[in-house]
Amino acid sequence: MRLIVNPSAKLNWPTPMYCIFALYATMAIALPAQTLTTLHSFDGTDGQNPVGGLVQAPNGDLYGTTSGGAFGNGNVFKMPPNRSLTSLYDFCSQPGCTDGKGPQPALVQDTNGDLYGTTQSGGASNAYCSGCGTVFRITSTGTFTTLYSFCTQPNCADGMFPIAGLVQATNGYLYGTTSAGGANGAGRIFRITPGGTLTTLHTFCAGSCLDGNGPQATLIQADSGDLYGTAGSGGVNGGGTVFRITPSGTLTTVYSFDGADGLHPLAGLVQAANGNFYGTTYTGGTQGLGTVFELTPSGTLTTLYNFCSLGGTLCTDGSFPVAGLVQGANGAFYGTTQSGGAGGSGTGDGGTAFAITPSGTLTTLHNFCSTSAGGVACSDGAYPVAGLVQDTNGKLYGTTLEGGVNSDGGIGDGTVFSISVGLGPFVETLPASGAVGSAVKILGTNLTGAIKVTFDGAAAAFTVVSSTEIATTVPAGAATGTVQVITSSGTLSSNARFRVP
């Protein structure tokens, strides 16, 4: 079974194959004033309808993907914060679209600075499939390589239509999922080397689909070293699952949704500093319109928020979340809703950006489709289907599927935006874990005057590569904890614990 959802007949975007979109919600945290800035409006040639989120690279630039570009089949772009956007690569530039088409998820960066991603279709055609998706690598300057084309094995045993992004584990391998294919046609979990050698770890829909069906979300590596993810359907009750899989391929179903606690988790999880996982479900809950939940590693689930809880027909707090959450440096979680909110001249269908505390208090940061410029409605963007990312400068960045103002003065094809919520700068490590002696990049802003680097208090030798990057190694005596960079102007701490096995 595959779940295909058309959330609103009003939305006029090309529906990606096997992809699910959604809606969302909001309530009240004590936060400083929030300011949204539209940084770029797409016009088709430079990209169109961005579905995936953004990622910050060691050079300080933001990278993302859209479904438009020169050939109308997707592109990869980069955007330095507060500067102009540049298209790096346009998909389907090779005969037969052997380079892939339709990149949807956010990119992932590996320790050498390269970016990896997937396309939901395109790639090499064969007797089993005519372009069923790819895995690709692109450098920060735009050099592109197709690493793998799916459905190259008999009967698509290697999977097809990868909608989710990739994650690089501490062993150096990249891990991902396909939404379909495999022996049961319900998707697979795979491992791929940076050079392109793919290994299947699990085939979904085993044992009456108790393990899940049709995964669409990016995996995460937990503190334990295992990988966690979600499947949009399947499980004991058919409402989707949270699963755990070891790097070598042993899968365990951690939780099965039943409706009252949420249905159809489409987004990935985030592991918070307290060790628990946080995520969203597309539907279900008390209002039937989606939830935010907390899940312990052992499988105890707590519903933190039920969307559309404020009453009324417009769901001013949002409904049907697609995207997942990101934990900010202040400990709160941040996310988006595709629809709902108080924008749209009272129609409440432009979507929201929100914050939620670990205890479940929700606040709206922005109602999209709430401004007009030059007679163009939704100049601030509409339908933010992707999640947010916190840049090391402290601001949140994201994209909207539609809206903005294009170069002709008409409504744009989506936006890139930033939201300032009063959070200060911090540092981020790449990768997020490593043994003593492992090479680590520390990303940040204004790092040139760095004086000292510590891992949970243990001092490390380091080299300042640029104002946005420090090269170091995990020092002897380091333990799982906060990474800090001391500069002449103050101390910058990591927003997440660095894991030392």
Ranges 9-13, 62-66, 414-418: which has the least confidence: 9-13
Each residue's pLDDT tens digit, 323-351: 999 999 899 999 998 888 887 644 558 88
- Report the candidate in 37, 34, 32, 31 with the shortest Cα–Cα distance to residue 418: 37
pLDDT confidence of residue 112: 81
pLDDT at res. 394: 94
Per the CB < 8 A criterion, the answer to whether 110 and 119 are in contact is no
- Among 99, 155, 156, CA closest to 124: 99
For 251-308, write each residue's pLDDT tens digit: 999 999 999 999 999 999 999 989 999 999 999 999 998 999 999 999 999 999 998 8
For 28-78, give the secondary structure using H, E and C: CCCCCCCEEEEEEECCECCECCCCCCCEECCCCCEEEEECCCCCCCCEEEE
Residue 30 is predicted with a pLDDT of 43
* Locus of tokens 């990988």: 227
- Distance from first CA to last CA of the chain, Å, rounded? 39
Chain centroid to CA 422: 22
Tokens 């929700």 map to which residue? Answer: 362
Hunting for tokens 């088709």 — which residue is that? 44
Give the pLDDT confidence score for residue 344 in this predicted structure: 60
For residue 431, whether the previous peptide bond is cis, meaning omega lies within 30 degrees of 0, is yes
Distance set, CA 294 to CA 85, 227, 276, 301 (Å): 36, 17, 7, 6
Residue 495 reports pLDDT greater than 70: yes
In this structure, what are the phi and psi dihedrals at residue 156, rounded to the nearest 5 degrees? 55, 40
Averaged pLDDT for residues 182-193? 93
Distance between CA atoms of 484 and 323, rounded to whole angstroms? 30
pTM of the model: 0.90
Model confidence over 402-423: pLDDT tens digits? 999 987 777 889 999 999 999 9
What domains are there in the chain, each with its CATH number? 35-420 (2.130.10.10), 428-493 (2.60.40.10)
- CB burial readout 393-408, b (16+ within 10 A) else e: bbbbbbbbbbbbbbee
Q: Model confidence at 43, in pLDDT bands (50, 70, 90)?
A: very high
What's the pLDDT tens digit per position in 269-284? 999 989 999 999 999 9
